[in-house]
Amino acid sequence: MILTPALLLFTTLTSVGLLAAWAATSRRHWFVRTLLFLCIASLPLLIPAYEMFVAFVLQGLVVAFGVQTWRWRRRESAEGNGTRFALQDALLAVVPLAVLTAAAVRLSALDLARLSNAAIVGISAAIWMLAGLWAGARDSKLLRRLAAAILLVAAASVPLVLYEPIFPALLEAIYWATRTLSDMVSRAAMIANRMRVQPTWAAIGVLATLSAFGASRLSRRLLNRPRLCVMSAATAIAALAVLPLLVLTKLMHPDPILPATQEQRQGAARLNGVLARWPNSPIVDTPTFDDALYDGSITLAQLESAAAEVQPAYDALRESIQRGCCRSLTYTQADLDPSFRRKVRSLSRGLRSLGYLAERENDGSRAIKIYSDMLDLANSTMKNGLIVDSQVGASIGGIAISAIYRCHPNYPKGEALRLLAHLRGLDSDYEGDAAFLARELVWTQHALGWEGHLTQILCDWSSGGGTSTEIGYSYLVAHYLVGLRLLQVEIALGIYRSKHGEFPSLLSDLTPEILPFVPLDPFAADLTPVRYRKNGDEYSVYSVWIDQIDDGGVSPTDNLYVPSQSGDATLDGLYPTYNEPPLVPVEPDENENSEQ
């Protein structure tokens, strides 16, 4: 991962530095040299990336200042009395000043930290180039001068490490060290981990210095052949600029934003309308209520007060779900506004309490209907959303699946068939991993600007696709899909047993009478159906889980969520029950009695 960005930094800063060295030492008119350098340094403005422009300009200015100072000290300037400017030069100077002024106007949108970081990168890169040029300027003591230049470069790379990642972390470590020893150790480990970039920056600086050293030595050898010298320098700079120009081209052409359809806009308006009916500080968001809800100590009065609060939003949710709800993206950082996800999570807690109340009132049918609507809320949150929306939706869906799994054994067969059809519909309505990830990539390119797009490009090149975000996303959503599909099979098995008096020998016996097909295991490498083992009246339905190995339905002995942990995932393992409220069996309805 670190090799690709290191190579990009080296080629970019070295090519700009060599161009600045040429502009500072060439005998051509100063306006031509300055204009050419500014044209190259202004290329990032096409993205626009003002931080890169600041770094390049400062690098060129420091290199030019260093070279001219060296020439002045060595009395090697073209005119012994110094450079003279005429009125024509003053008029020509208006052009580069206008370019710099136009860019400076936009710099006010950047914060001081980003500008400072760009300045440190530019100045450090200039020091690398000057050190290499100085080392190769004389024939005597060549190795000694080169060694001194490398030491200078290693020292100049220290601010690059300390500025952003280390110094704030160091201050945080000092603060936390006054609290507990474990905090101090964890912060120290974090700092030590980040210090690993020090050799990388030093290596980039050394390579840039060696490049400048080689260019300096080559120019001295070709001193009497200026045309060949210029051609060699141009070839070297062009070779170094291939990778930066390729990246620049990709940054200039982000993936287009797909406009929202009329149906998506209406679905988003309906979802926002539901959330607008939810109070900003509901009872279910208080810590005491939340704790009581999950440890089983919740009282009937607390549930009734929460139910009265959630009922208006729940009625609007049921009406809106029938017409379709989804997310709507602006492809800006406003899509990360936490208020939307906070209200969705809060509403899900309200639905959870409403389902608990129905269970306390021995109304199992209403409880499962509420939990089914909770699944619809989870699906609406995920639909047309970002990865973070899928995380929220998957967590809400997991809570609903857990509750339905606990309630479904006492569910009438007629209603179980309707519930199974509803779960199949949610499964088929899932957009798929490719749609989520493609939308996330486009959002990153537009909402996070060139930095997010550049990170994307580097991740694709260094890992061949499959960033850590994508991997984390696939595990999370696959977890939700595993629960949803295992629940479908569990309900189908119960329907089959109520009809045939026993569980089937194979899951294929459920098709096509109860299920059109056996749900697939999201974690199976070959996308085979979920596993099923029957032993007399006992059975096990499971997923091969993260290790993708069939362990016979045996759950992990340690942590289900450790990737290296062997074992399979069952509903009992995914959604363990704690102090759940008891559910009184529901009497079969008349339709079921007539069928039997």
Tens of pLDDT along 326-341? 998 999 999 988 899 9
Q: Domain locations in the chain?
A: 2-72+89-252, 257-466, 475-583
Separation CA 236–CA 223 (nearest Å): 17
DSSP letter at 512 equals: T
CA angle 129, 219, 135 (to 5 degrees): 40
Residue partners of 16: CB distance under 8 A and separation at least 6: 40, 41, 56, 59, 60, 125
Give the separation between CA 286 and CA 280, rounded to whole angstroms: 12
- Per-residue pLDDT at 178 exceeds 50: no
Instruction: Write the DSSP symbol of residue 518.
Output: P
Integer angstrom CA distances of residue 119 from 63, 71, 125, 433, 474: 14, 25, 10, 40, 39
Q: 3-state class of 520 per DSSP?
A: strand
- For residue 596, the model assigns a pLDDT of 35
- Residue indicated by tokens 């890992």: 463
- For residue 67 the two structure tokens come to 């070279």
DSSP state of 57: H
Residue appearing with tokens 């450090």: 124
Give the single-character DSSP code of 252: T
Q: Which two tokens stand for residue 18?
A: 């060599």
Q: Is the pLDDT of residue 586 over 80?
A: no
Q: Which long-range contacts (CB under 8 A, 24 or more apart) does 456-464 make?
A: 457/247, 457/250, 457/251, 458/1, 458/4, 458/5, 458/8, 459/1, 461/4, 462/1, 462/2, 462/3, 462/4, 462/5, 463/1
Tell me the torsion sign for CA atoms 229, 234, 235, 239.
positive
How does residue 315 score in pLDDT terms, banded at 50, 70 and 90? very high
Residue 241: phi, psi to the nearest 5? -85, -5
CB neighbour class for 366 (10 Å; exposed up to 12, middle 13-18, buried from 19)? middle
Instruction: Find the distance separating the first CA and the last CA of the chain, reported in whole Å.
Output: 63
- Which of 530, 534, 531, 579 lies closest to 406, judged by CA? 579
Region 274-289 average pLDDT: 87
- Whether the pLDDT of residue 468 is over 60: the answer is no
Q: DSSP class of residue 539? A: E
pLDDT bracket for residue 297 (50, 70, 90): confident
Reference 580, options 407, 411, 415; nearest CA is 407
CA dihedral (567, 571, 574, 579) positive or negative: negative
Its pTM stands at 0.79
- Residue 406 Cα to chain centre, angstroms: 35
Q: How far apart are CA 124 and CA 20, in angstroms?
A: 14
Residue 509 class from Cβ within 10 Å (0-12 exposed, 13-18 middle, 19+ buried)?
middle
pLDDT value at residue 86: 62
The average pLDDT across 491-520 equals 93
In Å, what is the CA distance from 294 to each residue of 241, 298, 399, 491, 582?
A: 60, 8, 11, 25, 13
Q: How many angstroms separate the CA atoms of 556 and 568, rounded?
A: 7
pLDDT in tens, 452-464: 888 888 877 766 5
Instruction: pLDDT band for 75, please (50, 70, 90 cuts).
Output: low
**Band of the pLDDT at 168, cuts 50, 70, 90?**
very low
* Phi, psi (rounded to 5 degrees) for 132: -65, -40
Q: Give residue 589's pLDDT band: very low, low, confident or very high (50, 70, 90).
A: very low
Q: d(Cα 94, Cα 336) in Å, to the nearest integer?
A: 43
Residues found in the chain:
596
pLDDT tier at 150, thresholds 50, 70, 90: confident
Q: Given pLDDT bands bounded at 50, 70 and 90, which one contains residue 533?
A: very high
